[in-house]
Amino acid sequence: MAPQYDAVVVGAGFGGMGAGIELDRLGLSNYVILERENDLGGTWHVNHYPGLAVDIASVTYSYSFEPNPYWSRLFAPGKELKRYAEHVADKYGLRRRMRFGAVVDGARWDEENQHWVVSVAGGETVTGRYLLTATGFLSQPYTPPFPGIESFAGKIIHTTAWEDDFDLTGRRAAIIGTGATAVQLVPEVAKKAAALTVFQRTPIWVVPKVDAPIPAPVQKLFASVPATQKAARLVNTSMLEALMVVGVLHFKQAKALNKGAGLLAKAHLRAQVRDKRTREQLTPHYDFGCKRPTFSNHYFKTFNKPHVRLETNSIDHVEADGIVTADGHKTEIDTLILATGFNLWDVNFPAVEIIGRDGANLGKFWRDNRFQAYEGITVPKFPNFLSLNSPYSYSGLSYFTTIEAQMKHMGRLFGELFRRGETTFEVTEAANARFLDTVTDKLGASVFYGGDCATARSYYFNQHGEAALLRPNSTVSTHRQAVSFPLEDYVYGVPA
């Protein structure tokens, strides 16, 4: 029985859109993109809290083949990213392939028909020769089970469910969490709230953000001479590469650079926060890079304001009108903002149930064994399946590096498949094991294992204490491997 589609893509964020563009390039144009939200853009559709902006400069945080000369700032606000996603979807004809409000429950490999059967909430099934999941890394919002939270009588709002018309003016607000989201949100909430308490469990490394509007003449130059924007991208990407790859992944060899980044962040803190005790509380006690660092010129300064307070005692419970900390102190509030991030390792790898050959369950396989995926994209026993958000797949700091490397991997893999006149592929156990050994080996030099990450509570680490998210490669070598991996790492056609 022929499947309905060449391919089923799950997720209409930048990852799923990149996959769609590549499928078209490969001539696999009969595909559908299933998206649980009511519009495209992934993270940039879901998140619209005040202060949202990229924290990777926009020249880099965009598809290299679709530069946008008109970013208003070096670090574009969230709204522009959403508009950019819409532009890409329109230009590449992706929108007509997208189905919104389609919540995928799971997918099962149909051995007899050699295709995937994807279940959509409501009872519908969709079949596709190939399955590509592009469900994001940070897409399952996390609310900690604070005792008593259900009794809170005021307004509770998670940053991923921001209500644009909610007015913070005069509110006595609390923000729980001090990750990259809170760093952007805290200064904005402080502008309106009458009182703001920020509940911090683990401080975050914050370095200055070299941000400015991009003047119209520069935008015009980018539009008329695209090579200029390409050059800007190259310079910025190289700087990020130095920070991330050298300072974090090659910690052992380049400790000085890592320590330098930490010193820069500490100097930034000293220059911005007057009170010594607050400065101490905001200083991380783990190495730079154990947890994703962030960039801001406004976050630290906010703690100088008289109506803003940093609370570092741990939260004991929530009452109808406040938060009580372990020391017995109650902070009275009427608005509780949860900047508590995402659950990555319990519910997101994979985001939907995936059942492969011989009944293999991907989530169970990863949990019973180690989290793993060949080149961060394919897994043995899961034929015709590309898991775009896999362990060890994230390369560099900008997600677009990963997306475009995976598009190249698709190009090489499907090119070979077509050359052989086959329709089924599966990565070999041996290739997968070799890749896992290589990344494990290389990560030994990273800050995750060579540095002091004990107090970081970083989502880079999974429940087994393994830093299984980032791929320990330079972005250049990730891209090189995507176009040169051994073709015999895959089996093509149905095994006899």
Query: What whole-number distance in Å separates Cα of residue 224 and Cα of residue 228?
Result: 9
- Closer CB to ligand NAP, 181 or 481, in the complex: 181
CB of 439 to ligand NAP, least distance (A): 20
CB of 205 within 8 A of CB of 452? no
CB of 462 to ligand NAP, least distance (A): 14
Number of helices and strands in the chain (H, E): 14, 20
Q: Which of residues 179-198 bind ligand NAP (CB under 6 A)?
A: 179-182, 184
The site map against ligand NAP for 368-407 (x = CB under 6 A) is: ----------------------------------------
350 cis-preceded (ω within 30 degrees of 0): yes
Tallying the residues shown for the chain, one arrives at: 496
Single-letter amino acid, residue 40: L
CB of 56 to ligand NAP, least distance (A): 6
* Residue 135 to residues 14, 41, 130, 389, Cα–Cα distance (Å): 10, 11, 16, 7
- Closer CB to ligand NAP, 399 or 485, in the complex: 399
Which one, of 225, 261, 32, lies nearest residue 269 by Cα?
A: 261
CB of 347 to ligand NAP, least distance (A): 14
Residue among 3, 13, 177, 356 that touches ligand NAP (CB under 6 A): 177
CB of 179 to ligand NAP, least distance (A): 2
* Residue 475 to residues 26, 45, 255, 272, 402, Cα–Cα distance (Å): 24, 27, 20, 34, 8
Give me the helices (H) in 361-494, please.
362-368, 399-419, 429-443, 447-450, 475-482
- The reply to whether 139 sits near ligand NAP by the rule CB under 6 A is no
Residue among 339, 351, 417, 427 that touches ligand NAP (CB under 6 A): 339
CB of 329 within 8 A of CB of 313? yes
- Closer CB to ligand NAP, 225 or 347, in the complex: 347
CB of 208 within 8 A of CB of 183? no
- Closer CB to ligand NAP, 56 or 107, in the complex: 56
Residue among 163, 457, 483, 484 that touches ligand NAP (CB under 6 A): 457
Q: Which of residues 43-62 bind ligand NAP (CB under 6 A)?
A: 53-55
- The reply to whether 85 sits near ligand NAP by the rule CB under 6 A is no
CB of 435 to ligand NAP, least distance (A): 24
Which one, of 114, 26, 108, 1, lies nearest residue 493 by Cα?
A: 114
- Closer CB to ligand NAP, 12 or 174, in the complex: 174
CB atoms within 10 A of CB 134: 26
Distance, first Cα to last Cα, the chain: 20
Place of tokens 């060949």: 374
- Closer CB to ligand NAP, 131 or 265, in the complex: 265
- Closer CB to ligand NAP, 330 or 364, in the complex: 330
Q: Which of residues 278-297 bind ligand NAP (CB under 6 A)?
A: 292
CB of 10 to ligand NAP, least distance (A): 20
Sign of the torsion angle spanned by Cα atoms 126, 132, 136, 137: positive
- Closer CB to ligand NAP, 174 or 339, in the complex: 339
Residue nearest to ligand NAP according to CB distances in the complex: 179
Residue among 64, 202, 361, 423 that touches ligand NAP (CB under 6 A): 202
Residue among 93, 101, 144, 213 that touches ligand NAP (CB under 6 A): 144
**Size of the residue set binding ligand NAP (CB under 6 A):** 22
DSSP state of 421: T
Sign of the torsion angle spanned by Cα atoms 282, 288, 294, 297: positive
- The reply to whether 315 sits near ligand NAP by the rule CB under 6 A is yes
CB of 99 within 8 A of CB of 11? no
Residue among 15, 187, 247, 341 that touches ligand NAP (CB under 6 A): 341
| Residues making contact with ligand NAP (CB under 6 A) | 53-55, 138, 144, 176-182, 184, 201-202, 292, 315, 339-341, 457, 459
